[in-house]
Amino acid sequence: MEQYTGKSIYKSVAIGPVYFYSRGEQQVKRCKAEDSQAQLERYETARDRAVEELQQLYQKALKEVGEVNAAIFEVHAMMLEDEDYNDSVKNIIFSQQVNAEYAVAVTGDNFAQMFAEMDDEYFKARAADVKDISERVVGILSNKRAGSSIGREPVIVIAKDLAPSETVQMDKSRLLGFVTELGSSNSHTAILARTMNLPALIGVPVKEEWSGKLAIVDGYQGILYIDPDEETLEKMRKKQQEDRERSRLLQQLKGRLTVTPDGRKINLYANIGSVSDVAAVLENDAEGIGLFRSEFLYLEKDTYPTEEEQFQSYKLAAEMMAGKKVIIRTLDIGADKQVEYFHLGQEENPAMGYRAIRICLEEPEVFKTQLWAIFRASAYGEIAVMYPMITSVEEVRRIKAIVEEVKEELDARNIPYKNVEQGIMIETPAAAVISDMLAKEVDFFSIGTNDLSQYTMAIDRQNPRLDAFYDPHHPALLRLIRMVIDNGHAHGCWVGICGELGADLSLTKEFLQMGIDELSVAPGMVLQVREAVRKAE
């Protein structure tokens, strides 16, 4: 038996034969080409076909893993239409008089290296994307396509790395789990694995010789077993059975109240990225939506979404939730969420730069367009709105003044709306420390523990080199959370948590002791958190 340790992406167990997936990267030959115009036309034809394929992949992913996770294929299509990328291919074809395959391969390598050498983790992740799209075009040009077939039997797919397009094209009914050597926990493939509830490990030194051997992926301990002995196999089979039984028992919590043994009711909501995620909210019996990440409406488009487009999305969510609360967070772009048409530019430290509410206050027409849509949708359900990255009372007062202008303009247009609850995200230490002052201005707080953690500890949570230093249970962070809850309650605000810690079952009891009113978690965690609340003493 061989045993390897990696970083777990999803906590579950898979047992089955290994399928070693090799991308079969094509060896591209440099060939002299006298007719450069003909080579350019070959490239443009292949590029257009690649864009069509990516659009088909987007539709397939949309059905299987939702709009947010499918968006990567729209990004890939946009990258293929990027002016700099296309100019590079054209320049190599004409200046070096070479074949289109070679020009695309060199452009892909150059752009991938450029992204990989950037300090920003978001742009580093784009290196794999540009390689993926370049290989797709080369495959079309050479008529040699790397397939994503994994055979007819259920298998554990092991690979050096997996591009999102490869993952989506695999037959999900035959996919037991993933193990890769490269990639990060924030990669698109990792997100897809979590969405599909598949155990996955990254950072494992994989070997092609494992192909066909029996393996176990232990997503709880982050261990890969190759040729496991009978004792290990029996133990993992038992763990699998326990998982299935636990899932069955959790289903019995549907329709039950999220209430502590001493009778205290907690509002248990779910986080979503788009309207398509509402189905998972309803399936998992969440009591509302505690975080609608509205920025995905902007990330998925190549220009500003209109008031009507946003209104239709918010209205649909409100109608589908049928009177249950839907809390929409206003635009939160910047940092790792870049939108090209905003022209935000490069920043030395984007996490602390021009982002979220700062953009909205500097560009009030963009902000007003979103607020018009939100308030219009409020007539169709129970909508609330919250504002991200607040650091001062003055910001909140400026927001409230803009909201009053929005209401006046809706009145002038004879459009009905409700006076919705308005809250703020507490995700900066500044907001936590002055939460007693902020509570006098708003109806509720939602603690964004992801950003609050990294700002409190001065640690970039997307940097894998800092994993050893990152402590999501740091006493300073927990003290800030308690302070926010106490200050909110003292001034009439209800307080919730919508960051990752909301689903940390080891902290559920502590949050209840602090007096938290609401927890908003990934849809798949709703029933587990409900169980933890109902058992908490």
CATH number of the domain residue 180 falls in: 3.50.30.10
CB-based contacts of 26-31 (< 8 A; 24+ apart in sequence): 26/135, 26/138, 26/139, 26/142, 26/144, 26/146, 28/101, 28/102, 28/105, 28/138, 28/142, 29/99, 29/101, 29/102, 30/98, 30/99, 30/102, 31/98, 31/99, 31/101, 31/102
Q: How many residues does the chain have?
A: 537
500: number of Cβ within 10 Å? 17
CB of 520 within 8 A of CB of 496? yes
Q: What are 399's two structure tokens?
A: 């927001």
Q: What are 105's two structure tokens?
A: 């391969």
Could you give the CA distance from residue 311 to residue 277 in angstroms, rounded to a whole number? 17
Where is 451: in which H helix or E strand? helix 449-457
Q: Examine the pLDDT at 432 and tell me if it is beyond 60.
A: yes
| 398 & 278 share domain | yes
* Domain span holding position 516: 262-535
Give how many domains the chain has, as a whole number: 3
Q: Helix (H, G, I), strand (E, B), or coil: what is residue 10?
A: strand
Task: Measure Cα distances from 507 to 67, 319, 423, 518 in Å.
Answer: 31, 33, 24, 14
Tokens 């209800």 correspond to what residue?
494
209: number of Cβ within 10 Å? 10
| 14 & 54 share domain | no
| 316 & 204 share domain | no
CB of 175 within 8 A of CB of 155? yes
Could you give the CA distance from residue 314 to residue 300 in angstroms, rounded to a whole number? 16
| 182 & 283 share domain | no
> What pLDDT, on the 0 to 100 scale, is given for residue 315?
93
Q: Which of 76, 188, 360, 493 is catalytic?
A: 188
Does some domain include residue 238? no
> What pLDDT, on the 0 to 100 scale, is given for residue 244?
83
DSSP classification of residue 197 = T
Lowest mean pLDDT of 222-226, 407-411, 465-469, 476-480, name the range: 465-469
Could you give the CA distance from residue 154 to residue 322 in angstroms, rounded to a whole number? 39
Q: Examine the pLDDT at 41 and tell me if it is beyond 90.
A: yes
CATH number of the domain that residue 56 is part of:
1.10.274.10
- Best CA proximity match to 429, nearest among 403, 448, 407: 448
Predicted confidence band at 65 (pLDDT cuts at 50, 70, 90)? low
Q: Examine the pLDDT at 213 and tell me if it is beyond 70.
A: yes
CB of 121 within 8 A of CB of 460? yes
Selected residue with higher pLDDT from 59 and 183: 59
Q: Helix (H, G, I), strand (E, B), or coil: what is residue 54?
A: helix
Interhelix angle 307-320/364-377, nearest 10 degrees = 30
Is 188 noted as a catalytic residue in this protein? yes
Selected residue with higher pLDDT from 251 and 41: 41
Does some domain include residue 31? no
Lowest mean pLDDT of 177-181, 202-206, 349-353, 428-432, name the range: 349-353
Is 360 noted as a catalytic residue in this protein? no
Could you give the CA distance from residue 306 to residue 458 in angstroms, rounded to a whole number? 37
Could you give the CA distance from residue 330 to residue 364 in angstroms, rounded to a whole number? 12
Q: Once rounded to an integer, what is the mean pLDDT over residues 268-277?
A: 86
Q: What are 295's two structure tokens?
A: 């920025």
CB of 385 within 8 A of CB of 328? yes
Give me the amino acid identity at 99: N
Q: Which of 76, 360, 493, 498 is catalytic?
A: 498
| 168 & 123 share domain | no
Burial 110-136 (b: 16+ CB within 10 A, else e): ebbeebeeeebbebebbbbbbbbbbbb
Give percent of the chain with pLDDT exceeding 70: 85
- Best CA proximity match to 191, nearest among 524, 532, 421: 524
| 461 & 323 share domain | yes
| 109 & 135 share domain | yes
| 327 & 194 share domain | no
Q: Examine the pLDDT at 336 and tell me if it is beyond 90.
A: no
> What pLDDT, on the 0 to 100 scale, is given for residue 424?
97
Helices (H) and strands (E) in the chain, counts: 19, 16
Predicted confidence band at 472 (pLDDT cuts at 50, 70, 90)? confident
- Mean per-residue pLDDT over the chain, rounded: 86
| 341 & 381 share domain | yes
| 189 & 279 share domain | no
Tens digit of each residue's pLDDT (9 = 90 or more) over 109-160 = 888 888 777 766 656 667 777 877 888 898 888 776 555 556 667 889 998 8
Q: Examine the pLDDT at 494 and tell me if it is beyond 90.
A: yes
Q: Examine the pLDDT at 61 and tell me if it is beyond 80.
A: no
Give me the amino acid identity at 166: E
Give me the amino acid identity at 196: M
Where is 385: in which H helix or E strand? strand 382-387
Does some domain include residue 285? yes
Where is 125: in which H helix or E strand? helix 121-142
CA-based Rg of the chain, rounded to a whole angstrom?
Answer: 25
CATH number of the domain that residue 336 is part of:
3.20.20.60
Q: Once rounded to an integer, what is the mean pLDDT over residues 7-22?
A: 86
> What pLDDT, on the 0 to 100 scale, is given for residue 535?
92
Could you give the CA distance from residue 218 to residue 215 in angstroms, rounded to a whole number? 10
Residue that is last in its domain, among 84, 110, 142: 142
| 477 & 531 share domain | yes
Could you give the CA distance from residue 223 to residue 233 in angstroms, rounded to a whole number? 13
| 267 & 285 share domain | yes
DSSP classification of residue 445 = E
Selected residue with higher pLDDT from 75 and 421: 421
User: Cα-flanking dihedrals φ and ψ of residue 284, to 5°?
Assistant: -95, 10
Tens digit of each residue's pLDDT (9 = 90 or more) over 73-111 = 787 888 888 888 899 999 999 999 999 999 999 998 888
